[in-house]
Structure 1
Amino acid sequence: MEPLSRVRRVVLAVRRAVLRRRRLLAAALTAVAVAAGLHAVAAPPERTTGVVVAARDLPVGAVLAPGDLTTVDLPPDVVPPDVVDDPLGRVLAGPVRAGEPLTDVRLVGPDLVAGRSDLVAAPVRLPDAAMADLLRVGDVIDLVAADPQRATSHVVASEVPVLALPGDRDLSGASALPGRLVVVGLGGRDLGPVSVASVRSFVTFTWSSR
């Protein structure tokens, strides 16, 4: 009977110890349950994607260099369509603000006429750089070919949208030619006359009244 009595004494001792510490054990179990619940309902980390944006305010015509760009993480649902992954060396068609993603329509190139199958993007040199300073992207103009020797002029393209105003200095570092390039949207029938006028005449503009 002695071994049985010893077992009973051990069981009673353990029971007394548990009873003395029941509050501590209850608190510990509660803490474990709360932690498990919080872990179960915690939202998963938000998914993001890296997007190239302007590191600072940039002017129209800027040639994009490494210091002009940075990458930020954005939720996929706020990333604009047609973001350009590697815009280094491209020319800005318009000014951009710091933090603005670089999309295809912000850069000089064929995407300037995206959605306009009736137009092509074409550079036209105006003889006076100050004349080009009067223009803004989005203006609609008529292109006029002027022949100083014959004292004649005629409209070679009407209702032409101005797509970009990159300066020659921004494109090549230095330009031996006078005037300034502008990028316009030309219809198929206007491309030939404007190209010929650019070689044979001075091309100027008037604001379209139509």
Structure 2
Amino acid sequence: MTADAKPKRVRADAERSSARIIEAAEQVLAVDPNATLEQIADAAGLTRITVHRRFSSRQALLEALNERFNERYLLALEQARVKTAPPLVALHRLTEIIFEFKLSHRSALVRFADPQTGGAVLAQGVVDGLDLLFSRLRAAESITAADPSWCRQVYVALLCEVERLPPQAPIEEGRAAEVGARTDLLTRTVLGALGGDCEALHR
């Protein structure tokens, strides 16, 4: 093995370990937000020392999880085409994408990422994307609320509440029906709260 190859392999091993830790942390903390680093290490199949080598503290791990949360939100905003799609369509699609992920991964990032506020810290790119969406909804007269930052806060708060609700569709109908039911509930509720026409979604 060459001198250059060894550092590359070490970096690759470190990246794989970090990914395993983050995946394990997301699963463990979704069940128990107070889980210890030892419990996360066990779930990842790694030693506590390895976890501490990658993340110096529990807070550092939570910050890494928060970063992953924001990456998913940014991707969802891109996939929903919040800049170009009709704003009502973009709102519905964004909400659908978020619930598709949450129900398949049972992620609790939105609940535990920031212990001070009880929710995730949104990256500026996510804030800008959501504010743009609500500004476009206002311009299209789909809502009457004028402050996009207020609209964003209402959306995120209601998203958390709808996520916590018991199943909204019969279990036998599957996850797609559950995603649809929660998406419809959230978008209707948000539009109603922001002075919009709930029925406009289905016109």
TM normalised by structure 1 equals: 0.28
